[in-house]
Amino acid sequence: MSSESKPCILIVDDDEGLAAIIQLMLDRAGYDAHTVFSGQTALEWLTRRKPDAVILDLMMPDMSGFTLLRQWRSSEATRSLPVIVLTARVDVRTRRDSRTAGANAFLTKPVHQNVLIEHVREAIGHAATPQ
């Protein structure tokens, strides 16, 4: 959690316009939101900070969200990091594959602000609860 005691959310999406809108939604809801636009930048960002949750796009030019998610789940440092997949892909297989790879939640674009905020709250709440 950040020093201001606002939950820190990392947004990983190559669509800079959409990422800015999501960041604004989260900031207005009282979160400390940060945005990166590539998988590689997300990996580097996570070496410096640990967010309370991640909102992850699946389709990015440098590395798929599935690759990132599997890598995070295989690392002790990021294994329990709550990850909400937010994607334009709406098919059942993508939803299933996201869960199999370790996503805590699966949302499709466009997403309503209230739905996104509720999923973020739920993800952070589950992360704070001992398993």
What is the chain's pLDDT, residue by residue, as a tens digit (131 residues)? 444 589 999 999 999 999 999 999 999 999 999 999 999 999 999 999 999 999 999 999 899 999 999 999 999 999 999 999 999 999 999 999 999 999 999 999 999 999 999 999 999 986 554 33
* Cα–Cα distance for residue pair 117/94, rounded to 1 Å: 22
- The span from the CA of 130 to the CA of 126, in Å, is 8
Res 4: pLDDT: 58
Q: How far is CA 92 from the centre of its chain?
A: 20
CATH number of the structural domain 8-128: 3.40.50.2300
Q: What is the model's pLDDT at position 5?
A: 85
Q: Which of 44, 47, 87, 48 minimizes the C-alpha distance to 65?
A: 87
d(CA 12, CA 115): 18
Q: Where are the domains positioned within the chain?
A: 8-128
CA angle 49, 7, 15 (to 5 degrees): 70
How is residue 34 annotated by DSSP? E
pLDDT value at residue 126: 65
What pLDDT is stored for residue 3 in this prediction?
A: 45
Question: What pLDDT, on a 0 to 100 scale, did the predictor assign at position 131?
Answer: 35
